Chain A
Amino acid sequence: MNTSGFERGSQKEFRIHVMPTKRFKTFAISLYAGVPLQEETVTKVALTPFVLRRGTQSYPETTEFREQLEHLYGAGFGFDVYKRGDYQIVQFRMDTINDSFVGGDEQLLDRSFAFLGEVLTRPALEDGHFRTAYVQSERETVRKQLESVVNDKMRYAAERSIEEMCKNEPYRLHPLGKRQDLPGIEPDALTTAYQTWLQQASMDLYVVGDTTLEEVESLVQKHFDVNRTHSSNYVTNQAVRGDKEVETVVERLNVNQGKLNMGLRTSITYGDPQYAAALMYNGILGGYPHSKLFVNVREKESLAYYASSRYDGHKGIATIQSGIEIPNYEKAVTIIKQQLDEMKNGNISDLEMSQTKAMIRNLLKEMQDSAFEMIAYDFNRQLSGKERTADELLTQVEQISKENVREAAEQFRLDTIYFLRDEKGE
């Protein structure tokens, strides 16, 4: 596959990407709306989809709204709010059965677009603004979700370490915003923020399934009740590796297991020529069960059940996470730092190279079996401005040498060590 497989068009300043295929039993629809991550707008933008999913002009009551989805053979409908680089992305997804499997011509794609168009552009209103009851109740929902992060200690430690590491930049913000903003967000202000968001966000609409670009364009024309007048593109900020001292943060909570999270910064981002080398760096360090972290922290020392690394090419950050016995903190830090040094010194075996390449190859190929994964991969292109198909990336990965990985390793620098531990002891 030398091209991405997506046909591109646009309608009402929505960029439209369609992959016509009969391979799946459903139509996969994904809408990405991105705005810069900003202190002043983050909470309102996060709250918006929560209110939009309560009701529309045709189905103002939430039960009616949800019943409508069930009429569409229980079409999957969901949304997510997350960070990509310095952007806050709201993603709506629909997954609707292809009519041919439910016997007949139900026009499920048309009806799905009618539904999505309503959600996005024709919300239930009263006195010209969102229904007060919906705004109040969804403020509570967002508050509860923000507060519930502490329940999952793995996730809590991951989010806290990023917050500490990025405390002087917008990336410290939680994608769902700030709890203290919520009580002050009134229905009229939120409605105004929504209208601005609808006009100004970067919009990318994806469809994978048995359809065509022309059909999707006409569906957007027909069902999206908005006149967007200007297009906006994503702009990537240059990531910096930095040179500050490693900062250590210890936090105490009532836990059995300690969570050790480390954050690294890198100047290599998604659009960078060294991106493939950075993927290899992460894969050899901690992406897989054959990686240095798993083998040394878990298999050799029995220190942990999980020990891995992740690389975020949009932000230029890598993270390491492990769950350990609390008294083993020093030992675990030492072993992990040794692995980072091994990477910098280029102590990488041929086997590690070939295994990691095989795993990345597998990942990039198997993406093509999932409509939503193909969509997510292609969206990277919109975000970064870097056009690179999965096949091209694969070719680049194949050509990476140990020396390339070592060079990439020089561009990763340990920034923050975060340890979540119990309340006992010193």
Chain B
Amino acid sequence: MESIHYEHLQETLYHEVMDNGLHVYVLPKPGFQKTFATFATKYGSVDNHFQVEGQKEVKVPDGIAHFLEHKMFEEPTGDIFATFASNGASANAFTSFDQTVYLFSATEHVNENIQTLVNFVQNPYFTDQNVDKEKGIIAQEINMYADNPDWRVYFGLIEAMYQKHPVHIDIAGTVESIGTITKETLYTCYNAFYHPSNMLLFVVGGVEPQEVMDMVRSNQAEKNYEPQGEIKRIFEEEPAGVVEARREARLAVSLPKCLFGFKETDVGFTGQDLLRRDMTTKLMLDLLFGSSTALFQKLYDEDLISDSFGHEYISSPQYAFSVVGGDTKDPDLLLARIREEVDAIVKKGFEASDFERARKKKIGGYLRMLNSPENIAHEFTREQFRGGDFFNMVPIYESITLEEVNRRLEEHIRWEQLAVSLVVSP
């Protein structure tokens, strides 16, 4: 077990790699009642075409990573929620583009709960009957999202941008695609992506690191995992341009929803480079569209935006794009005004004083996030899978320069890379 101390954060992280390749991290939080643990696999909705070293290439139905997440909760002995409940743990899971995360939080029986978490995820139990039953439940989940205009406008934007890369496929799939899922396809995916060497266990809270490591080590030693070869994730080449400049969906809304964003052409960054680029871009977007900017206030005063107007940046080694917008009474006017104002800012670049303030805000936001064990676990795991170090973000913020942010502004704002997604009332 190694320990890494972060003096500026007053945090110490403990790490060990188990013999089967599983990475385990423990962050003790003295004085905390709760322990929060996540057991994550680097496997999400985009991993629909792959090849494990020495095996044949496979393509699987849309929505299968999410379906698998649902099915993991079923054990021969029944529903695993009941086991967690008996030990006072609140359990859950989620699937994103690039990972599937199982989690619990508990204030007692922490060791039993960690074992339950690891054991249930490492014990798949799929039958024709239980797979079939799940289809009805997930169909209702899909219907629920179909009625949700925020989800529709968000996914509409990704669909407008990406043609080949599976990031444009809804995480839950469609009622049709999940209809083709069988227990065999589930086992294929499970065997490929749930090998310990593709997974990470993170435990944060009032725990003793050595005790957790010892327990997990002996738990894993009993399971006799064979070493697994590399997983090749296959992605068709994505054209640089967007699929369509504008996409519209119809759904009853009080005001049109309008999201727009720029698709990056220059991708392929990994590790710390990816993290730095991510942070620099987010800082840039905040300087451009944040609620304290002159642009925000102008558009608000012109009654073109509301408090719902926000921005984010989504990135991975293969795709990267911004998402900006919110509710507006007049999407065309809003877009025209934004283009006009943003062009003027790109010409001038940002002011040093605004940059310093925005940087301070980012550092403060990061430190506040460290009050939340949940956020620490999620952000740390996500960064680890991407090869970045979540606990070293303050030094990066401190080293980002105004020139770098201004350069990012020029690179990112390219109108030919713009896509717009709207949800309007029928």
| Chain A contact residues, CB within 8 Å of chain B | 23-26, 61-63, 66-67, 69-76, 95, 97, 101-102, 133, 137, 140-141, 144-145, 147-154, 253-257, 288-290, 294-295, 298-299, 302-306, 323-325, 351, 354-356, 358-359, 361-363, 365-366, 368-371
B360 engages A148 (CB within 8 Å): no
CB distance from B10 to the nearest CB of A (A): 8
Measured in the bound complex, the distance between the Cα atoms of B136 and A294 in whole Å is: 14
B88 engages A362 (CB within 8 Å): yes
A73 engages B370 (CB within 8 Å): no
CB neighbors of A among B194-247 (8 A): 205
Instruction: State whether the Cβ of B87 lies closer than 8 Å to any Cβ in chain A.
Output: yes
CB distance from A418 to the nearest CB of B (A): 16
Whether A298 touches B367, Cβ cut-off 8 Å, given contacts A147-B255, A151-B150, A151-B254, is: no
A-B pairs with beta carbons under 8 Å apart, 12 shown: A25-B367, A74-B360, A144-B254, A148-B308, A288-B81, A288-B85, A289-B91, A290-B82, A294-B81, A302-B133, A305-B141, A362-B107
* Chain A to chain B: the 8 pairs with minimum beta-carbon distance, closest first: A73-B364, A74-B361, A302-B136, A358-B88, A66-B292, A74-B364, A355-B85, A365-B107
CB distance from B399 to the nearest CB of A (A): 16
The one of A294, A354, A361 in contact with B107, judged by C-beta atoms closer than 8 angstroms, is A361
B254 engages A97 (CB within 8 Å): no
With a cutoff of 8 Å between Cβ atoms, the chain A residues found around residue B82 in the complex are 290, 351, 355
With a cutoff of 8 Å between Cβ atoms, the chain B residues found around residue A137 in the complex are 300-301, 303
With a cutoff of 8 Å between Cβ atoms, the chain A residues found around residue B297 in the complex are 61-63
Instruction: State whether the Cβ of B119 lies closer than 8 Å to any Cβ in chain A.
Output: no
CB distance from B345 to the nearest CB of A (A): 15
CB distance from B278 to the nearest CB of A (A): 18
Instruction: State whether the Cβ of B156 lies closer than 8 Å to any Cβ in chain A.
Output: no
With a cutoff of 8 Å between Cβ atoms, the chain B residues found around residue A358 in the complex are 85-88, 108
Measured in the bound complex, the distance between the Cα atoms of B139 and A257 in whole Å is: 10
A254 engages B364 (CB within 8 Å): no
Interface centre among B88, B251, B291, B373 (most CB of A within 10 A): B88
Measured in the bound complex, the distance between the Cα atoms of B252 and A283 in whole Å is: 34
**How large, as a class, is the contact surface on chain B?**
35 or more
User: At the interface, is chain A mostly helix, strand, loop or mixed?
Assistant: helix
With a cutoff of 8 Å between Cβ atoms, the chain B residues found around residue A370 in the complex are 371-372
Instruction: State whether the Cβ of B306 lies closer than 8 Å to any Cβ in chain A.
Output: yes
With a cutoff of 8 Å between Cβ atoms, the chain B residues found around residue A62 in the complex are 297, 300
With a cutoff of 8 Å between Cβ atoms, the chain B residues found around residue A371 in the complex are 371
B106 engages A362 (CB within 8 Å): yes
B106 engages A324 (CB within 8 Å): no
Instruction: State whether the Cβ of B62 lies closer than 8 Å to any Cβ in chain A.
Output: no
Measured in the bound complex, the distance between the Cα atoms of B287 and A66 in whole Å is: 13
User: Smallest CB-CB separation from B82: which chain A residue?
Assistant: A290
User: Smallest CB-CB separation from B294: which chain A residue?
Assistant: A63
With a cutoff of 8 Å between Cβ atoms, the chain A residues found around residue B306 in the complex are 141, 144-145
Interface centre among B146, B306, B357, B373 (most CB of A within 10 A): B357
User: Smallest CB-CB separation from B358: which chain A residue?
Assistant: A70
Instruction: State whether the Cβ of B144 lies closer than 8 Å to any Cβ in chain A.
Output: yes
Measured in the bound complex, the distance between the Cα atoms of B354 and A71 in whole Å is: 10
Can you name 18 extra interface pairs (CB under 8 A) apart from A70-B360, A323-B144, A365-B107?
A63-B292, A63-B294, A69-B361, A73-B360, A73-B361, A74-B360, A137-B301, A145-B306, A148-B308, A149-B254, A152-B150, A288-B81, A289-B79, A302-B136, A304-B137, A355-B86, A358-B87, A366-B33
Whether A101 touches B367, Cβ cut-off 8 Å, given contacts A256-B143, A361-B88, is: yes
Whether A140 touches B291, Cβ cut-off 8 Å, given contacts A148-B255, A361-B108, is: no
Measured in the bound complex, the distance between the Cα atoms of B90 and A362 in whole Å is: 8
B357 engages A25 (CB within 8 Å): no
| 1/0 contact string of B115-137 vs chain A (CB within 8 Å) | 00000000000000000011111
CB distance from B334 to the nearest CB of A (A): 14
With a cutoff of 8 Å between Cβ atoms, the chain A residues found around residue B371 in the complex are 24-26, 370-371
B85 engages A97 (CB within 8 Å): no
With a cutoff of 8 Å between Cβ atoms, the chain A residues found around residue B137 in the complex are 298, 302, 304-305
CB distance from B253 to the nearest CB of A (A): 5
A369 engages B254 (CB within 8 Å): no
CB neighbors of A among B36-88 (8 A): 79, 81-82, 85-88
